[in-house]
């Protein structure tokens, strides 16, 4: 049986987007209540009856929460241009070594705007 599990995390952070044109609202510093969906996928272990313990996903996320929550993302190494695309790839790069079954990272910047990254 093949499944996909999703664990959702939330954090608050500010950012500004330096590559946007002067005068664009996103060029000014502003904040978001970010939501991140971390998806792992693969075959269910028939003996265990599950793919991955959700606690393993939460444990992999915990260090990122410390780096992101209530921070200015532009000051986080690797997020100098913290677009949703860059943020999703940055999160992937930190989670994938611990979560080898990682299949996607989705960043919800607003309730209507998301970016889904599935690795490079």
Would you please indicate which residues are annotated as catalytic (active-site) residues? 26, 70, 109
Cα–Cα distance between 18 and 75 in angstroms, integer? Answer: 12
Cα–Cα distance between 99 and 119 in angstroms, integer? Answer: 13
Total Cβ atoms within 10 A of residue 18: 12
Cα–Cα distance between 34 and 57 in angstroms, integer? Answer: 18
3-state secondary structure of 68: helix
């Amino acid at each position: 049986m093949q499944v996909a599990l999703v664990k959702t995390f939330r954090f608050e952070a500010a950012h500004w987007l330096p590559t946007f044109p002067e005068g664009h609202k996103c060029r000014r510093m502003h904040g978001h209540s970010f939501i991140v969906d971390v998806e792992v996928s693969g075959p269910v272990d028939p003996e265990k009856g599950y793919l991955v313990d959700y606690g393993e996903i939460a444990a992999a996320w915990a260090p990122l929460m410390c780096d992101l929550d209530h921070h200015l993302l532009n000051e986080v190494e690797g997020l100098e241009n913290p677009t949703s695309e860059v943020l999703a790839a940055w999160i992937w790069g930190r989670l994938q070594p611990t979560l080898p079954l990682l299949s996607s990272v989705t960043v919800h910047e607003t309730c209507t705007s998301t970016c889904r990254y599935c690795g490079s």
